[in-house]
């Protein structure tokens, strides 16, 4: 393990994080909020620690697999530790653990909260809380790579460890160019939504906050009632559209900008993603129309919004879906596990893994009729390697085992099984709201400190696709040359 280069990159990350806090500090200053000094202290402290770490010398400048895993895992932890300080110093949270939970939820784009009175918080804190969604949506280290060319040497190991999905691929030959292309797309989508929300009547400040939560698929709002506080079908549909758009593999947007728009509709993952949204929306809308709403328009509107919110793991709400019919809640619970596309800002198991799993089942059925036939698994007319299939199977098995173990662990809080299970599904899948005591009108504040810390670990595990964090706590592998 090259500890020197790991320390230097982590130091650079902290310097970048300190710079990213400046907009929140300026908002705190302009609003004369009590969060001015907490932000100033945190920015200085983070920058000083980062500066000291970047002065660490290393023999080699290349980043291998071990260094990449360590940088990504520790980078998210360090960024969360420092990013939580403004919330704690300003008194926005009662304990540092609460502040840490909130910011881990922000960076991992989960949207689970322990805050009970959001509208009473200082404007700078609310902005920073939502801005962490936008930073974490594309990836903290990818952001650092885009801004700091010096880290481009061997940086693909960082990108590969942080990228969501079973396979990470570069869009451009140079990783720095890939990071820039991704962020140009990200910024373009962000500005488009800000403009449309502003046209719909939101203030610039609120438009940015809700755009950060939408494009980053996080779900933090500055309103206690989330998007439901805006009694506007236009706003609901704009946010729903951009939630769906943010759950698409961003490499498809690059293809579209290069004049290859047909790749959208040829991509099997995208087609399955849209089909799931359409089927789930229609099924829930019919259920709501027959049982609760008795209005086709409102049923379709709320069903589409909530399906988009859950499958993309955003977590915004326009209605209390916890009081919806059992059939509708069951569909939403299933979508919590499905998640968005690989290469998007969404969480969950990812559509591509579900697609490969379905093709594996189809192959095994085919082998019953043709035992000696060679039936490779193909996605987009490309053969999926056995290594990738094994990695997907391992991920799905580990995801399920972790879900079951964590559900039992959380149930020790003496909560009902649906609360425990949905809390785990919502944090591990980076969704935010669950059902029952952690439903869309509730929060996670009642959990004990150990449970909050474990749920924070689950959020990090979910965002970094399990294996990166697990590799961090297995240091014996660091000594093995890769």
CA 463 – CA 164 distance, rounded (Å): 8
CA 170 – CA 152 distance, rounded (Å): 13
CA of 215: how far to CAs of 133, 390, 409, in Å?
A: 8, 31, 32
CA 301 – CA 239 distance, rounded (Å): 12
Q: For every residue of 172-193, which 3-state class applies, written as one string?
A: CCCHHHHHHHHHHHHHHHHHHH
CA 129 – CA 136 distance, rounded (Å): 11
Q: What is the pLDDT of residue 362?
A: 86
Q: What is the pLDDT of residue 154?
A: 47
Q: What's the rounded mean pLDDT across residues 27-49?
A: 95
Q: What is the pLDDT of residue 369?
A: 78
Please count the other Cβ atoms lying within 10 Å of the Cβ belonging to residue 238. 22
CA 42 – CA 309 distance, rounded (Å): 33
Closest CA to 396 of 479, 294, 320, 465: 465
Domain boundaries, the chain: 1-162+448-482
- Taking only Cα atoms into account, the Rg of the chain, rounded to an integer number of angstroms, comes to 22
Instruction: Say if residue 94's pLDDT is above 70.
Output: yes
Closest CA to 322 of 416, 390, 239, 218: 416
* pLDDT tens per residue, range 224-256: 888 988 889 999 999 999 999 999 988 888 777
Tokens of 21: 């806090």
Closest CA to 443 of 117, 166, 127, 123: 117
Q: What is the pLDDT of residue 251?
A: 81
Of the CA atoms within 13 Å of residue 75, those in its CB half-sphere come to 36
Helix, strand, coil shares of the chain, percent, nearest 5, are 70, 0, 30
Q: What is the pLDDT of residue 367?
A: 78
Instruction: Say if residue 432's pLDDT is above 90.
Output: no
Of the CA atoms within 13 Å of residue 39, those in its CB half-sphere come to 25
Instruction: Say if residue 11's pLDDT is above 80.
Output: yes
CB 63 within 8 A of CB 158: yes
* pLDDT tens per residue, range 398-415: 999 999 999 999 999 999
Alpha-carbon torsion angle 418, 218, 179, 341, nearest 10: 40
- What residues contact 139, with CB distance under 8 A and at least 6 apart? 159, 162, 163
CA 480 – CA 474 distance, rounded (Å): 12
CA 327 – CA 446 distance, rounded (Å): 28
Position of tokens 């293809």?
255
Instruction: Say if residue 65's pLDDT is above 80.
Output: no
Q: What is the three-class DSSP state of 278?
A: helix
CA of 346: how far to CAs of 37, 134, 249, 274, 307, in Å?
A: 34, 12, 9, 14, 13
């Amino acid at each position: 393990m090259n500890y020197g280069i790991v320390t230097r990159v982590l130091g650079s990350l902290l310097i970048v994080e300190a710079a990213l806090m400046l907009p929140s500090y300026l908002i705190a200053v302009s609003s004369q909020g009590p969060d001015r000094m907490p932000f100033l202290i945190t920015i200085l402290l983070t920058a000083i620690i980062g500066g000291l770490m970047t002065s660490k010398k290393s023999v080699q400048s290349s980043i291998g697999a071990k260094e990449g895993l360590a940088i990504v895992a520790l980078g998210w932890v360090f960024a969360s530790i420092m990013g939580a300080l403004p919330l704690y110093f300003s008194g926005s949270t009662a304990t540092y653990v609460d502040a840490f939970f909130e910011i881990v939820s922000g960076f991992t784009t989960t949207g689970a909260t322990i805050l009970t009175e959001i509208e009473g918080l200082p404007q700078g804190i609310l902005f920073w809380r939502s801005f962490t969604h936008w930073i974490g949506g594309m990836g903290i280290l990818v952001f650092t790579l885009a801004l700091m060319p010096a880290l481009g040497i061997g940086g693909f190991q960082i990108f590969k460890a942080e990228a969501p999905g079973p396979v990470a691929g570069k869009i451009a030959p140079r990783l720095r160019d890939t990071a820039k292309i991704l962020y140009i797309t990200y910024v373009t989508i962000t500005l488009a939504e800000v403009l449309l929300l502003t046209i719909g009547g939101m203030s610039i400040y609120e438009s940015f906050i809700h755009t950060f939560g939408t494009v980053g698929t996080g779900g933090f709002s500055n309103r206690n009632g989330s998007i439901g506080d805006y009694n506007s079908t236009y706003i609901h549909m704009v946010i729903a559209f951009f939630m769906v758009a943010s759950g698409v593999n961003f490499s498809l947007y690059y293809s579209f900008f290069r004049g290859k728009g047909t790749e959208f509709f040829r991509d099997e993952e995208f087609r399955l993603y849209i089909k799931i949204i359409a089927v789930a929306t229609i099924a829930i809308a019919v259920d709501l129309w027959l049982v609760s709403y008795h209005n086709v328009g409102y049923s379709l509107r709320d069903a589409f919004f909530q399906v988009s919110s859950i499958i993309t793991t955003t977590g915004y709400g326009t209605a209390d879906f916890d009081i919806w019919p059992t059939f509708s809640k069951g569909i939403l619970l299933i979508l919590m596990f499905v998640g968005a596309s690989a290469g998007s800002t969404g969480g969950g198991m990812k559509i591509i893994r579900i697609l490969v799993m379905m093709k594996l089942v189809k192959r095994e059925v085919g082998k019953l009729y043709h035992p000696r036939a060679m039936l490779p698994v193909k996605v987009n007319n490309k053969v999926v390697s056995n290594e990738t299939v094994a990695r997907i199977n391992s991920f799905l098995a580990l995801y399920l085992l972790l879900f079951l173990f964590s559900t039992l662990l959380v149930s020790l809080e003496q909560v009902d099984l649906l609360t425990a299970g949905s809390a785990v599904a919502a944090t591990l899948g980076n969704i935010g709201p669950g059902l029952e005591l952690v439903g869309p009108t509730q929060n996670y504040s009642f959990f004990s400190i150990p449970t909050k810390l474990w749920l924070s670990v689950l959020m990090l595990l979910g965002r970094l696709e399990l294996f990166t964090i697990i590799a961090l706590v297995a240091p014996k592998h660091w000594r093995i040359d890769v």
